[in-house]
Amino acid sequence: MIDTTHFGFETVPTAEKAQRVRAVFDSVAARYDLMNDLMSGGLHRLWKRFALSRTGLRPGDRALDVAGGTGDIAAGLHRQVGREGQVCLADINAAMLARGRERLVDRGIAGNVGYIQADAEKLPFREASFHCVTIAFGLRNVTDKPAALRSMARTLRPGGRLLVLEFSRPLLPLLAPVYDAYSFKVLPVLGELVAQDESSYRYLAESIRMHPDQDTLAGLMTEAGVEDVQYFNLSGGIVALHVGYRY
């Protein structure tokens, strides 16, 4: 029997999912930042700012941003660790990684930032390498989420923090149908008009619905080896930030 998983609402062989996700981000990389602003009305910048306020990083620390895309979180981590620290931007997708490097260099961020094409499920770092590991809007695209969480937790130093910023479940009953209508009717149209790719943005909307809810994700993080997990609902639960510690 073939092992299967979900790709949005579609069931696909597990071995194919990473390749299909890679194709999505190859397609959207050039317009990814513009689409983020349009889709969220700029709110993604506030969500990321809140996440960065919870890193606990100090000058000289080491930080890792997984599925770091175009570098927004990495830029914030760099501000926090300063020139004495180090930041690594990791992404499985070469096009997104190249875009992230380009944007960070354009902002004058260089020298103590590393870039590595890597699978979140098999991060190529030694145990206890980082004071903080972040993943923003990337976990839902990972095939084996528990494996990715274990991989990230393993790289944390004792006392280090794992931050997972991701779309989640709206808390307000009246918000859910509005959110669904926006996700499945407006986002694909925006994707077609702006990025000439309706299907990728339909997948992204579907992937949000398939992602674990707040409590389930907190449980997965605990099972992966991080403790004292708490989460913060943002924008009525449309997005949640989960924070856990390795002791």
Please give the angle made by the CA atoms of 50, 156 and 214, to the nearest 5 degrees: 45
User: 181 lies in which domain range?
Assistant: 4-245
Joined together, the tokens standing for residue 222 give 């605990």
Burial code (b: 16+ CB inside 10 Å, e: under 16) for 95-114 equals: bbbebbbebbeeeebeeebe
In contact, 111 and 58? CB cutoff 8 Å: no
d(CA 113, CA 88): 6
Per-residue pLDDT 10s for the chain (247 aa) are: 678 898 888 888 998 888 888 888 887 777 777 778 888 888 999 999 999 999 999 999 999 999 998 899 999 999 999 999 999 999 999 999 999 999 999 999 999 999 999 999 999 999 999 999 999 999 999 999 999 999 999 999 999 999 999 999 999 888 888 888 888 888 888 888 877 888 888 888 899 889 999 999 999 999 999 999 999 999 999 999 999 999 9
d(CA 179, CA 169): 10
β-bridge mates for residue 4, sequence order:
13
Q: Could you say which DSSP state residue 129 is in?
A: -
d(CA 9, CA 202): 10
* CATH number of domain containing 131: 3.40.50.150
Count of domains observed in the chain? 1
SS3 17: helix
SS3 30: helix
